[in-house]
Amino acid sequence: MEIEEKLAELNKLREEAKAGGGPKRIEAQHAKGKLTARERIALLFDPGTFQEIDPFVIHRCTDFGMAETRFLGDSVVTGYGKVNNRLTFAFSQDFTVLGGSLSEVASQKICQVMDLSAMNGAPFVGILDSGGARIQEGADSLTAYGNIFTHNTLYSGTVPQISVIVGPTAGGAVYSPAITDFVFMVKGIGQSYITGSEVVKSVTGEEVTLEELGGALVNATKSGNAHFALDSEEECFRLVRKLLGFLPQSYKETPSVINTGDDPNRISEELLHIVPLEHTKPYNMRQIITKVVDNGDFLEVHGRFARNFVVGFARLGGRSIGILANQPMHLAGVLDIDASDKAARFVRTCDCFNIPLVTFVDVPGYMPGTDQEFRGIIRHGAKLLFAYSEATVPKVSIITRKAYGGAYVAMSSKSLRGDICYAWPTAEIAVMGPEGAVNIVFRNEISKSENPAETRQRLIQGYRDKFANPYVAAARGYIDDVIDPRTTRSKVIRALEMLQGKEVKNPPKKHGNIPL
């Protein structure tokens, strides 16, 4: 064969691989409102940078007529390219090939790019659209999943791992995304559940559609499995690219510093008027965050879940930071089970990738009640204490108003190795709110007085005068400074600059035992 003929054969095979399951199945994919695996790759990577690996891999199964049902590349496209001009690895499951089902070789392809991403210290994006384990391959395809979970786990904290769910993920298949750092889902097409509607109906009798059971919104809002729920695939991949921009390539790097053009010394007059003087009145903590960070650009993560707590990425002085904040607009910003889980996970995500933590505090305490106690607020709340204590990244906090009790301690306090704790003059640091404190400490005095209501009010005022300010805590050094709210931006930027060289090593151990 002449070289020209060999090249022609190569090109023919390459075209065949690119065609996936063929035009009819591609048409069916589009008819479902879904893009193909390769169209998704094109949205993720910088144009023309994607390099495919293993396009000629085929499965080895011969049962159930599978010897005649082979597709070049099998059911997944894998490779690497540039995102924002930085090396990134990806796999994209091809639903047009046997429903994107996971075969032994598909798993080998996926694990290979995961190995390459870890070896080369670059992030990894998995795009999921699959009917699950390849039924014809039996136990081989189950082992194939197990291998992926192991890779996800071993590389956790090594390189950022992102999952994009743009099709079905059912059964055990849901657990690869669940182990990764961030999960994106697209409404209407991304679905994730342990068992589908039919099984649910037969076991529990509940009637529920697949979208109600495991659609993007329900996973982003109720279960918290998804960090983002987007309207379209285009919007979704734009956001994946933006998120990657905040993250370093691996645990060995610090996040990039870029010139955002925002003056580090910018004063924000509005910050004087966001926190109401009435200490129970709600306000939107997001307004404070956006006034402080560079150009007001805040990428909220997990925004629909546990809305009493806000987490996300922004930049300060061009440097990427993780923000955590109580949200007084929802449940008065109380810490409950979901908020603790969300916050603890975010602290650890930032800590493994060297992203400093900036925490805004306005918290009345942990959520009381049998529901929370019985479901384990102690165990879940402990995660947040553990995560903040263990984290070695720079930790700066700003108390804007209430910081009561155990929740004050949990929110990046100095006793949990917070580096710099600032308070606004509106801050109140106490064991609990004045009303609760007076009811306990002065119970006898109130009940024995001639006018209990008046006595109670007088005692509340006395307690408030003493503790409803930041100066008692500042006098003991628990607060490093009480600052003019307008200067918050420059104060935090300077603190982070000062902490740039921070080096802390935790005591030697195999690994800590976070209360899961």
Q: Is 81 a catalytic residue?
A: no
**Cα dihedral angle (456, 459, 461, 462), rounded to 10 degrees?**
180
- 145, 283, 386, 388: which one contacts ligand HXC (CB under 6 A)? 145
Confirm whether 220 is a catalytic residue.
no
Considering CB under 6 A, how many residues would be counted as binding ligand HXC?
15
Q: Applying CB under 6 A, does 190 fall inside the site for ligand HXC?
A: no
Is 172 among the residues that bind ligand HXC (CB under 6 A)? yes
Q: How far is CA 445 from CA 173, 432, 434, in A?
A: 62, 19, 15
Told to judge if 171 belongs to the known catalytic residues of this protein, a careful annotator would answer yes
Name all contacts of 453-460 with Cβ < 8 Å and 24+ positions apart: 460/434, 460/435
26 lies in the site for ligand HXC, by CB under 6 A: no
Distance (Å, whole) CA 150 – CA 146 = 6
Q: Which of 189/337 has CB closer to ligand HXC?
A: 189
Axis crossing angle, helix 337-352 with helix 377-390, rounded to the nearest 10: 20
Inter-residue contact 270 to 483 (CB < 8 Å)? no
Site string for ligand HXC, 88-117 (x = CB under 6 A): ----------xx-x----------------
Indicate which residue of 171, 188, 245, 318 is catalytic. 171
Among 37, 61, 133, 240, binds ligand HXC (CB under 6 A): 133
Shortest reach from residue 229's CB to ligand HXC, in Å: 20
Nearest to 162 by CA among 230, 75, 86, 91: 91
Q: Decide: is 131 part of the binding site for ligand HXC (CB under 6 A).
A: yes
Could you write out the DSSP letters of every residue in 103-120?
-HHHHHHHHHHHHHHHHH
Question: Which CB atom, from 142 or from 482, has the smaller least distance to ligand HXC?
Answer: 142
- Binding residue for ligand HXC, selected from 66, 142, 194, 200, defined by CB under 6 A: 142
Q: Does 407 bind ligand HXC (CB under 6 A)?
A: no
Contact window for ligand HXC (CB under 6 A) among 2-10, 129-137, 297-305, 443-451: 129-137
User: Is the Cβ of residue 199 or residue 514 nearer to ligand HXC in the bound state?
Assistant: 199
- Rounded distance between C-alpha atoms, residue 508 and residue 506, angstroms: 6
Interaction of residue 134 with ligand HXC, rule CB under 6 A: yes
Q: Of 95, 61, 64, 57, which Cα lies nearest the Cα of 78?
A: 57
CB of 221 to ligand HXC, least distance (A): 22
What's the 3-state SS for 397-429? EEEEEEEEHHHHHHCCCHHHCCCEEEECCCCEE
Which residues of the shown chain bind ligand HXC in the complex (CB under 6 A)?
Answer: 98-99, 101, 131-135, 142, 145, 168, 170-173
